[in-house]
Every structure is written in structure tokens, then in C-alpha cells.
Structure 1
């Protein structure tokens, strides 16, 4: 049971790292700074791989326990506490991810709007071109 408690604490440690990473990058994203997006994504992926490994270790350790009644009340309390902390981190991370997605969606919408404005301006400028003037320039070249 001590192995399970240790793994749960390690998992919570990495969930905290994940949460902190989201928190710091969310500040950048909310200000429109997306330069670190790729690094952010890669770091998150590495943490998720670690969490996946810890989960596999937890499953293996859990399958080795034959009788949960052999666990002390203190061990059960530690497991419940670690699980509650995990649940809190997971719910906060989900909230953060929704905020990150909203920032990215807003930036995407701004880019689309800017591209549409550029297209309209090009079309308007194209309407002022003189066909004879352009033809004469082509002949001189």
C-alpha cells in the first residue's frame, strides 16, 4: 500500500507541474503571445506521458494487493487524501484548458478577420488599376 501512496503523491506532483505550466502560459495567451505554443504543447505531452506511466504503475501495484482490509486506517486516509487532491487538480486543469482553447479561438478569429480585411483592400485597390497603364508598363519592360 505504501507503493500506491507514493505513486499517487508522485502523480499529484506532476499534475501540479501541469497546472503550473498551464497557468503561466495562460497569462501569455491571454495577452496574445503565442510564440511559446509549440514548447507549451511539447512540455504538456511529456508530462502526460509521465502521468500515463505512473497510472500503469498504479494499476500494477493495485493488482498486487490481495486484501484491502489489510490496509491500516491511516493508509486508507492517505489514499483518499491523495485521490481528492488529484480530483481537484484535474478539475482545475480542465477549466484551464477551456480558457486556453478560448484564447486560441479568439486569436484564430482575429487572424481570419485580418485576412478578410486584406482581401477586401486588395479587391478595392484592384478596382482602381487602369488596364491601359498596366499594358504600357508591360510593353516597356
Structure 2
């Protein structure tokens, strides 16, 4: 049972790292700074891989425990409940953060699209000032 509690605490530790990473980058994204976007996603992926490994270890430990132990003492149950409650809180917060991250990225994307549309309109406007006579005369002089 101590192995499961240790693994649950380790999982919470990595969820905390994930949450902290999101907090830092969310502040940057809110200011329109997306310079660390690649690092952000790579770090998140590495943490998710560790969490996947910890989950696999939890499954393995739980299977082994079910085969050998049927009764759990109340203190161990309380520790497991506390660790699971902390995990649920982190997961809820991370989901909220991810929604905010996606909103920041969506706003930046929309801003870039508007900028590109404005550039396109300006090019069309400048193209209207171009005359064939002026262009032909330049070609003849060259």
C-alpha cells in the first residue's frame, strides 16, 4: 500500500510541475509573447510521458496489491483519499488553464489573420495606382 501512496504523491508532484509550467506560460501568452511556445509544448509532453509511466506503475502496484492484500487500514485509506483529492484539484485547475491557453492562442491567431487581410487590402489599394503608361515608359528607358 505504501507503494501506491508513494506513486500517487509522485503523480501529484508532476501534476504540480505541469500546473506551474502552465501558469508561467499563460502569463506570457496573455502578454502576446509566444517565443517559448515550442519549449512549452515539449516540456508538457515530457511531463505527460512521466505521468503515463506513473499511471502504469500505479496499475501494476494495484494489481499486485489486490492479489496479496484484502484489508486496508484506515490511515492508508485516508492518505489515498487525500492524494486522489489533490490530484482531482490539479486536474481541474489544469483544464481551466488549458482553456485559457487555447483562448490566448486563438486571439493571437485571429490578430494575425486580421493583419494579413489588412496587408492584402493595402496591396490591392496600391495596385490601383499602378499605370501601364508609367510602367511601359520605365521599361523603354532601361
Q: TM-score range by the shorter chain?
A: over 0.9
Equivalence for 1:73: 74
User: d(CA) in 1 for partners of 2:140 and 2:74?
Assistant: 93
- Aligned partners of 1:23, 1:127: CA distance in 2, in Å? 49
Deviation at 1:132, TM superposition (A): 1.1
* SS of structure 2 residue aligned to 1:48: helix
Could you say which residue in structure 1 is the equivalent of 2:103?
102
* In 1, Cα distance between equivalents of 2:53 and 2:137: 70
Partner Cα separation in structure 2 for residue 112 and residue 9 of structure 1: 44
- Greater mean deviation of Cα atoms: 69-78 or 3-12: 69-78
Partner of 1:92: 93
Q: Could you tell me which runs of 5 or more consecutive residues in structure 1 were left unpaired when the two chains were aligned.
A: none
TM-score, with normalisation over the residues of structure 1? 0.97
Could you tell me which residue of structure 1 aligns to residue 55 of structure 2? Answer: 55
Aligned residues: 141
Task: State the shift of 1:69 in Å.
Answer: 4.1
TM-score (norm 2): 0.96
1:71 deviates by: 1.4
